[in-house]
Structure 1
Amino acid sequence: MSYTDADLERLYEEWEQNDDELSEEEDSPAQKRPKKYLDSLRAEAKNPEDLLSMTKKGQTLMMFVGVRDTSQPKRTDIRSFTEKWTALWQSQLYNNHIDVQVFVIDDNRAIFMFKDGSQAFQAKKFLLEQQYVSEITLEGQQFFGPAAEILRKDDL
């Protein structure tokens, strides 16, 4: 079955009318959004992190994750360990409908890249509960995981 130009035009118009995608206000970067849109987000937000999460919706966001083997906390040449655990966390996040790409950038460090930045904040909560996470850097803020406590105890 082939479509004429008129059929395609009607289909396109119908698609545009039924488009559930983000409005232009929601689709534009936070700094370019109208003030009333940002004010409505502030009203919906329960806390500052919630507001930050809302403003990152639809934007690419990267999070740095430090990994430590708690059985050998001083050891830093643990690339295979890091690859194993970050891949496992990626699949667990994916099973929770969080789309993330993971890139191991050092023996004990990885980048988690989110196409929808608002998902990074859910992932951060999950990762901070994981035994081998030492620290997370997200939006210039550093958060310490369970493995950081083991490193501190060893330093004492």
Structure 2
Amino acid sequence: MARLLEEWEKDDDIEEGDLPEHKRSPPPIDFSKIDASKPEDLLKMSKKGRTLMVFATVSGNPTEKETEEITSLWQGSLFNANFDIQRFVVGSNRVIFMLRDGSYAWEVKDFLIAQERCEEVTVEGQVYPGKAAKKDSKGKEQNETKKKGDKKAANRANKSRQEL
């Protein structure tokens, strides 16, 4: 029995390609090809061959069915552009796109932020505003400036109260 166990342990050598992704060694990065002024290039190289999640938010107040339909169109367009991508709806206006090769995430991000109903896209913790966010942000900016003006007035009132 002991000899059999030793033979089986020798046969347990699993090839690199058959290992789960988290146990594989990362692909080597050629730093001579990377432009130091573009940090995205380094991220692209480091995510090559790794699974990566891209989060997208649909603008407005869509139902889950509307989100499903809109993001299905986005996924179809990306699939037609030869991106291996899966889509998971996780809320009434939120979706996750899963890429098998994370180096394409920034190209997918560029496509998504150009869509009419895309409010924002998140890649590796970095939030990128979409086309729909530009329309909404104008109203938000005006509201924020009004709030700042109100705060300044309140600060002036507090100062005069303290002086009394």
Same fold (TM over 0.5): yes
TM-score by length of 1: 0.68
Counterpart-to-counterpart distance in 2, 1:133 and 1:28:
35
1:87 and 1:77, CA in 2 relative to 1: closer, same or farther beyond 3 A? closer
1:82 and 1:57, CA in 2 relative to 1: closer, same or farther beyond 3 A? same
Counterpart-to-counterpart distance in 1, 2:62 and 2:79:
27
Matched with 2:51 is: 60
- Secondary structure at 2:77 match in 1: helix
State the identity as a percent. Answer: 43
Report the structure number with the largest CA radius of gyration: 2
Matched with 1:124 is: 109
Query: What are the residue-to-residue correspondences of 1:126-141 with 2, within 5 Å?
Result: 126-141=111-126
- Secondary structure at 1:58 match in 2: coil
- Secondary structure at 1:118 match in 2: helix
Does 2:33 match 1:44? yes
| RMSD of aligned alpha carbons | 1.9
Instruction: Report deviation, 1:109.
Output: 0.5
Count of residues in Structure 1 that have an aligned counterpart in Structure 2: 117
Counterpart-to-counterpart distance in 2, 1:121 and 1:96:
14
Counterpart-to-counterpart distance in 2, 1:94 and 1:63:
15
Unmatched 5+ stretches in structure 2: 1-23, 143-164
Instruction: Report deviation, 1:154.
Output: 3.6
Aligned letter for 1:127?
Answer: L
**Is the helix fraction higher in 1 or 2?**
2
Unmatched 5+ stretches in structure 1: 1-26
- Secondary structure at 1:106 match in 2: coil
Counterpart-to-counterpart distance in 2, 1:65 and 1:115:
17
Counterpart-to-counterpart distance in 1, 2:131 and 2:110:
12
Matched with 1:14 is: none
Instruction: Report deviation, 1:153.
Output: 2.9
1:96 to 75, 81, 85: 81
- Larger relative contact order (CA 8 Å, sep ≥ 6): 1
- Secondary structure at 1:135 match in 2: strand
Instruction: Report deviation, 1:78.
Output: 2.3
- 1:40-80 CA distance string (max 9 Å, x none): 2x221242112211111111100110101xxxx3xx24222
TM-score by length of 2: 0.65
